[in-house]
Structure 1
C-alpha cells in the first residue's frame, strides 16, 4: 500500500469519515487512520438532530438507510430539578425528524463510505508519534494486531480522534482544561415500549449536566449521564453517581421499572466548546470532539463534527492546491469556527452557569413552564444553535429577575 499522501485523517468517527469523504470529492489523496476495527461501539447519547440528517444526505446517506437501525423521535421531555416538566413536539415535519441511532451502526455507515473513497485505509492502527519534516509529517502508526510499526507521510494532518485527541497532544494544540470538560457515561437497557420521546432529567446531584433516556428501538434505550468533570473524585465516581440517580430519582424510575441493562457501560471525555485556543497549526487542523466542538449545555457534538469536517476539508484542499499548508494558509478555518460555532457556544455557556447553581436551575424550569420565551430557549438549545437574540430578550431576563424575588 502507498504510504505517501497529501492528507491524513486521524480518527474514523463521524468527523474523520466525513472529512475523508469531503477531501476525496475534491481530489485529495487522503489516508484514513483509526485504532479500531469497524464496526465498533462508541460512548454517546446516540441522538441525531434533523439538521445532521440533512448533512448526511449530502454525503449520500439516505434517511431510510440511516434509520434502518434506529428510532425516529417526535417528542422531547425535560424534567427540571423540582420535577417541572417541559415538553416539546417535533416541528420539523415527517421528512426531517430527529432520531436516535446506536453509534455502532451510525458510525459504520459513514466509515464504509469513507473507506471506499480514501486512498489509503489503516484501521486497527494506533498513532504512536508524529514528526514534522520540512514539507510533510511522518506519522508513526502501530498495527494493534501484529505490533508492526508503519510510517505514513502526509503534507497535512486532520485530527478527528475524539476528546482525548492524540493529535492535539502531539502538536501542542488546544490544551485540555478540566474546567471546560464534562464526563459522560452510558449503557443500553432492554424494556417495554420506550415510545418516541427522548427524556432528559436535570437531577440536582448531576447539575449542570443531566441524565437521559433516549430510545434507539421500541424495546431498547440508551441511558446515560453527563456532568462536569470533578478532579477530587475517585475512579468510578461517575458510575456510582449514575446508579445512585437511576435507583433514587422518582421521576426517572418509572421509565426503567422493568428494564434490564444489556452490555457494559461505556464512558468518554467531553471537551466543551468553551475551550480556549487555536484549532489549527502548521499543517494541522482539529475537528469534531478533538476540537472541543461539544455543546456546553446539551452535550451534542455530531452535527458540529460533520459541519467542521466539511469546512476543514474545503480549506485543506485549497491550501494543498496552493502548496501552502502553513497555519496562515489554514486561517480561514479558524475564522470560520470562531464566527459560526463559537458565538452559540459562548451564549449557551451563560445558561450553563445558571444551571450550575441548584437554586437558579430550580427556578428556570417553572419560568419556562410559565413564560414561552424561556421555554423557547430550551427548544432552541436542543433543536438548533442558540441564537444571540435570546440573551438580548428583556422578557427572558425579566422572568429570571422575578424568579429571584
Structure 2
C-alpha cells in the first residue's frame, strides 16, 4: 500500500483521504488550519452534493441530527431582480449548512477512516510541494482555489432574524437573483442556513465572473451594497435583521476547458483542478466526487505514472462533458434578456421549470438538459 499526502482538508481532500484510507493506504491529511475553521462560501449543499456525500456514508439525517445549524431546502427560486421570478418545489431535499460545521463533519469522517492529521501551511509555490512529492508515493493537491486559477469573485454575509419575521416558505427556499449590475452571468443569492430555533440565519451574497468585466474594475463590496439596496427581497430581509456579520470576499476557481489535473505523482482535485460549476459556483459535488475518482485512479494503477494517466482520463470522462456544457450555457446567457426569457419559459411550461430547476440543483447534468426537454 502507498504512503499518500493529501494537502488540503476541505471536501475534496477529506473525500480523497476517506476513500484512500478505507482502501488501506497510509494517508496524511494536511491542512493549514486546525479545525473547526470557517470557509467563506454560499453554504449550499445541492442535490448532486447530497448524492456525492453518500459515497462517504454521509446522509441528510446524519447531518440534521448531529449539526448545530442546518436548513432543509425544498424550493428553488430563480428570478431577475424586481422583474420576473419562478419558484419550483422539489420532492428531493437539498440543504444549507454553514461551512464551519460542514467541513468539521467531513474532517472527522476522514480521520475516523484512518487519516493522520497534520497542521502545516503549504505555500502555492512549488518547493514545498516538490519536497512532499519526493517524501510520499503520491501527493493529492486539494489546496482549493489558491492552487487553481481564479475566474470569479464572490462575497458573503450572515444575517440573523427572529423566526416569526419570516414565512415558512422563506425558511426552505434557496433564492438566486440575476441582476444586470452583476454582469451577464453574475447573480445574487439568499439562502437560509439555520432554521431550527427562535432565531434564523440567512447567507446573503453574490458572485461575479471575471470574464464579464476587467478584474481591475470589480469592487465586489460596492456591488454587494448596490444589490442589497436595489433587490426587493434582500432589502426587505435586511430591514428585519437583528444582527449582520461583516461581509467577507472570496475567490472562485470555476471550470476551464482542457484542464491538466496530473503531473508525475501530483494529482489535483476539487477547486485546485478548477472543478467548480461554471454557472452556479457550486463546488462541493465535484470536490467530493473528485476525491472518490482520484482514489480509484490510484487503486487501479501499478505506479504513479499510470495513476496520473488514469486520473486525467477519469477527469475527462467523468467531469469534462458537463463542465463544457456549463461553459456553453454560460456563453449563451451573455445574450441580452436571456435570463428573462429563461424564467419566462419556466413560468409557461412546468416541464421546463422542473428540468431547469433540477439542473441548477445539480440533479440533471447540463449536457442532458436540452435532450431531456424533448421527452
Cα distance between partner residues in 1 of 2:16 and 2:291: 5
**8 Å contact from structure 1 (residues 34, 124) kept in 2:** yes
The residue number in structure 1 matching 2:44 is 47
Q: 1:369 deviation in Å?
A: 1.7
Structure 1 length-normalised TM: 0.80
* Structure showing greater Rg: 1
Match of 1:23 in 2: 20
Structure 1 residue 360 corresponds to structure 2 residue 360: no
Residues of 1 paired with 2:104 and 2:368: CA distance?
A: 38
On the 8 A contact 2:3/2:27 being kept in 1, the answer is: yes
Distance 1:115 1:305, change over 3 A: same
Q: 1 or 2, which has the higher helix percentage?
A: 2
Select the residue among 138, 143, 158 that pairs with 1:188: 158
Q: Deviations along 1:107-161, whole A, 9 cap, x unmatched?
A: 00011222344453212533476559xxx95239xxxxxxxxxxx8211111111
SS in 1 for 2:280: coil
RMSD (CA atoms):
2.6
For residues 301-345 of structure 1, give each alpha carbon's deviation from its aligned partner in whole angstroms, at most 9, with x where no partner exists: 1011001100101212333xx2x101x442222222212211122
1:202 maps onto 2:195 in alignment: no
Deviations 1:54-76 (A, max 9, x none): 43344243433312321111111
Out of 109, 113, 120, the residue aligned to residue 113 of structure 1 is: 109
| Distance change >3 Å, CA 128–CA 376, structure 1 → 2 | closer
Q: What's the CA shift for 1:88?
A: 1.0
Contact 1:294 1:301 in 2 (8 A): yes
Does the 8 Å CA contact 1:8/1:156 hold for their aligned counterparts?
yes
Q: Are 1:259 and 2:241 matched, yes or no?
A: yes
Q: Say whether the 8 Å CA contact 1:11–1:32 is kept in structure 2.
A: yes
2:317 is the counterpart of 1:334: no
Q: Distance in 2 between matches of 1:337 and 1:191?
A: 42
197-206 or 344-353: bigger deviation: 344-353
Is the contact between residue 7 and residue 157 of structure 1 (CA under 8 Å) also seen in structure 2?
yes
The residue aligned with 2:203 is: 222
CA distance in 2, matches of 1:32, 1:84: 47
Q: What is the TM-score with the length of structure 2 in the denominator? A: 0.86
Match of 1:380 in 2: 358
In the TM superposition, 1:243-258 aligns within 5 A as 243-258=225-240
Secondary structure of the 1:356 match is: coil
Rounded to whole Å, the distance in 2 between the matches of 1:278 and 1:201 is 33
1:84 aligned residue: 84
1:212 matched to 2:195? The reply is no
Q: Deviations over 1:202-249 (max 9, x none)?
A: 1111131210011011210111111112434357x0011011110122
In terms of mean alpha carbon deviation, does 120-129 or 189-198 score higher?
A: 120-129
> Measured at CA, do residues 44 and 232 of structure 1 come closer, stay the same or move farther in structure 2, by a change above 3 Å?
closer
Residue number in structure 2 paired with 1:402: none
Provide the C-alpha distance between the structure 1 equivalents of 2:373 and 2:101, rounded to a whole number of angstroms. Answer: 44
Runs of 5+ unmatched residues, structure 2: none
- Distance in 1 (CA, whole Å) between partners of 2:372 and 2:63 is 38
2: CA distance, partners of 1:161 / 1:212: 26
Out of 120, 126, 131, the residue aligned to residue 138 of structure 1 is: 131
Report the CA distance between 1:368 and its aligned residue.
2.5
- Sort the Cα spacing of 1:253 and 1:128 in 2 relative to 1 into closer, same or farther, 3 A: closer
CA shift for structure 1 position 82: 6.0
Gaps of 5+ in 1: 141-151, 169-175, 397-405
Q: Structure 1 stretch 358-367 or stretch 213-222: which is displaced more?
A: 358-367
Count of residue pairs brought into register by the alignment? 357
